[in-house]
Structure 1
Amino acid sequence: MSSVPLPPLPPVPGVTDEEFEPAGRSMIELLDEDHDRLGRLCSRAATEPAASDVLVATLARHLAAEEQYLYPAVHSVLPDGPAIAERELAADADLLVALRRLHSTTDDTALWSITERIRRHAHRAATEIFPALREHCSHGELVRLGNRVEIARSAAPTRPHPGIPSTPPLDKIVDPALGVVDKVMDALSRRTTWEEDL
């Protein structure tokens, strides 16, 4: 198996990194749940205006987490990883532009476009990317990445910001800074950004 680019674990006497079994959920499980949630939100946004804001925020957080952890892992461990990561980053950049349009309009065609792009994005992940990662990464690596995805999502922007850096290390600096600004704007405008608050 190839090694995923992760910082070393703190030393534990008598335990190697390979023997350590981290707690948490795998990155694949978390991102797959996001894809399901995004599908539900697309359906709800067609009839509930508040769901559109939640869709925008959820997708912005999801894409930020994928750019920080999924695509670098894909790039590093899969034989054709660099090409896959480049393709997905380009698709995400287009998705952010479409998301900005949805965020600024109530146009039904914008929602339809986002829904179709999310459906294709989730399909590629489920049929191509996730199975390959399961084959090339250890369960412990996927859990350690999952822990980082959860942190990245909580610090990520809640609005689309096309054109900002989408690869490490800059995205890991810029995304949390924009996330703070977005969260302040959300609080001031009382914008709903979590599905459970709908």
Structure 2
Amino acid sequence: MSAHLPPLPPVGGETTGVNVVDLITREHRELLALCEELTASGTDAARRRTLAQVLVASLSRHLSAEEQYLYPAVRSTVPDGDGLTTRELQEDQALLVALRMLDAAGDGDRAERAANVAERLHRHAEAAAGELVPLLARLVPVEDLIRLGNRFEMAEEAAPTRPHPGTPLRPPWNKVVDPAVALVDKVRDVIGRRTTYHRDL
């Protein structure tokens, strides 16, 4: 069953890139590792502050890309995909609110708010690994999964670096609003010298 995507131009005669299943699985591992270090008792305040910035930015980008491409693919190809994605969007909304609270946290309450984000992120990753991703891998041709991975990566680069629970969660509006909001976020990141990528830690 196709994920109903227009084709990307092939490179070297075949579709190349990262399979969206592998990409999401890897990113969930990286995000959970960030949470683990952020909530560890031995992490000092300055490091915790930087880790929180990277987690907020990385998870904001990740959720935006899932809402733009993963959930629509699940909705169009998986039996009861609409019910599954509606449930996940509700959970993601709560995760974005928790992420916003972490982003606004001072040193004194950062650990507690990070623990709340970590708990919600664990649930998010378990739902993907236990249900959404295996169903997608079974029902969607590998070429479509690679094309989804390509779009997912492009969406992340154009996504907000801060949580915006009030913005649209479904296409087509999130594909219009998220990049516009992202421009403002990225200007604020530069002005505030904010660390937003794991590679910069």
TM-fit CA distance, 1:9: 4.9
Query: For 1:197, which of 193, 196, 200 is the aligned residue?
Result: 200
Query: How many pairs does the alignment contain?
Result: 189
TM-fit CA distance, 1:44: 2.3
After superposition, residues 1-198 of structure 1 pair within 5 angstroms as 2-9=1-8, 21-46=14-39, 47=43, 48=47, 49-106=49-106, 107=109, 108-198=111-201
TM-score, length-normalised on structure 2? 0.90
Aligned equivalents of 2:4, 2:117: Cα separation in 1: 31
**Residue identity opposite 1:52 in structure 2:** A
Provide the alpha-carbon RMSD of the alignment: 1.4
TM-fit CA distance, 1:142: 0.3
**What CA deviation, in whole Å up to 9, does each residue of 1:44-65 have, x standing for no partner?**
2232220000000000000000
Aligned equivalents of 1:135, 1:30: Cα separation in 2: 16
**What CA deviation, in whole Å up to 9, does each residue of 1:154-194 have, x standing for no partner?**
11000000110010000001111111111111001100000
- Stretches of structure 1 lacking an aligned partner (at least 5 in a row): 12-19
Q: 1:17 matched to which residue of 2?
A: none
**What CA deviation, in whole Å up to 9, does each residue of 1:59-105 have, x standing for no partner?**
00000000000000010000110100100011101110111000001
Tell me if the contact between 2:68 and 2:175 (Cα under 8 Å) persists in the aligned partners.
yes
Q: 1:10 to 1:31 in 2, by over 3 A?
A: closer
**What CA deviation, in whole Å up to 9, does each residue of 1:11-41 have, x standing for no partner?**
9xxxxxxxx7410001111111110111111
Aligned equivalents of 1:121, 1:112: Cα separation in 2: 14
Aligned equivalents of 2:8, 2:121: Cα separation in 1: 34
Q: 1:42 to 1:135 in 2, by over 3 A?
A: same
Aligned equivalents of 2:27, 2:165: Cα separation in 1: 20
TM-fit CA distance, 1:10: 5.8
Aligned equivalents of 1:115, 1:8: Cα separation in 2: 36
TM-fit CA distance, 1:42: 0.7
Aligned equivalents of 1:91, 1:190: Cα separation in 2: 30
1:105 match: secondary structure: coil
2:116 match: secondary structure: helix
Aligned equivalents of 2:167, 2:124: Cα separation in 1: 20
Tell me if the contact between 2:7 and 2:147 (Cα under 8 Å) persists in the aligned partners.
no
Aligned equivalents of 2:187, 2:24: Cα separation in 1: 26
4+ residue runs over 3 A deviation: 8-11
Question: Identity rate of aligned residues, in percent?
Answer: 50
